[in-house]
Amino acid sequence: MYLDSNLPTNVSTNQDIVLVINSNETLLWESAVRVRVLPEVLSATLSVRIQLWGYAAQLTRQSKSIGIISGTGLVPPVFT
């Protein structure tokens, strides 16, 4: 299980979203994070701009290997 803050939590008052992924059918490539300093951009104010970036790619062999579960069935039960 992975928790990710990029999934929406405000779909409705009582709904959540769950992604189910077969990781054997999904490939993920990530590059190393790169850093560069650009002193020319803000030279009038004696400031520098620092950039961090990287590349990522995902390939899924079967579209059925990723599923979305949503709806009111994910509401936690209330015991009285």
**What is the mean pLDDT of each successive set of 10 residues along the chain, which is 80 residues long?**
76 78 90 93 87 93 87 76
Q: Which domain holds residue 47?
A: 16-73
Measuring CA to CA, how many Å separate 11 from each of 6, 21, 35, 63, 77? 13, 21, 36, 24, 19
Q: What is the DSSP letter of 63?
A: G
Residue 31 in domain: yes
pLDDT at res. 36: 94
pLDDT at res. 56: 95
pLDDT at res. 29: 93
pLDDT at res. 18: 84
Residue 63 in domain: yes
Counting the structural domains of the chain, the total is 1
The strand pairing partners of 67, in sequence order, are: 20
Helices and strands per DSSP (H, E), number in the chain:
0, 6
Which residues, at least 6 apart from 56, have a Cβ–Cβ distance to it below 8 Å?
Answer: 28, 29, 30, 31
Residue 5 in domain: no
Model pTM? 0.52
